[in-house]
Amino acid sequence: MMRRMVVVGALAVFLLPLSGRAAGPNQKKLDMEVAAWWKKQWPDQTVVHVAKKSECEKGDLEDPTRKDKTGKPRRLSTCLIKADIYLERGFRILIYRETHLHFVGNTLKGVQLGELQKSWKDGMPLPTSEQVVAEVMARLQALGATQPVINVREISRQPRIAGDNLRASALLDIACQKDGREIKAERTLLTFETDGTEWRALPTPLF
């Protein structure tokens, strides 16, 4: 089983208009509010779990809808809940540790993202032979080549980690006609990369 944790650190603060007094939501409401907020910010990520690390603590946020005499935003008392947010994005698992959730009543008003950890889910499918052939055909067509013959010799048996992504390679033979002459390229290596959603071929030359 392949797992890899990458610490990326993220400390972005997102605020919404504020009103009312601080009060703590129950777990069901907490889950609903976080999921709704996340869907607006990153619709390609799905909240799978909100693990509370603390109960309601005294917190405060700037209220952009209310100004003091000097024109500065007023501070609003909130219920601060610390939580680990677990998400899925394709075959990627994302965890924001010690995220600060600011509530007014049962409404989420502000989020301060904690440290980001990433890992991979098991079962990421490899590129298929059909996908490899389609990629090569598209490239040959763009080059003005005709009469393509493509033989996929081998595809990686399992993906390999490359920085923050996964990679897989395909070994293939290519034959085609271009500019009135025959071109043959044997044992050409084509590399694909994914961030956990779909595979994309890297822009390496075919021959």
Q: What pLDDT does 12 receive?
A: 45
Dihedral (Cα; 14, 18, 22, 25), 10-degree rounding = -60
- Whole-structure pTM value: 0.70
Decide if 176 contacts 148 (C-beta within 8 A): yes
How far apart are alpha carbons 116 and 118 in whole angstroms? 7
pLDDT tens for each residue of 87-128: 999 999 999 999 999 999 899 989 999 999 999 988 889 999
19 pLDDT band (50/70/90 cuts)?
A: very low
> What CA–CA distances, in Å, run from 61 to 36, 55, 56, 77, 204?
20, 18, 15, 7, 49
Report DSSP letters for 169-180, one per residue: EEEEEEEEEETT
Q: What pLDDT does 8 receive?
A: 35
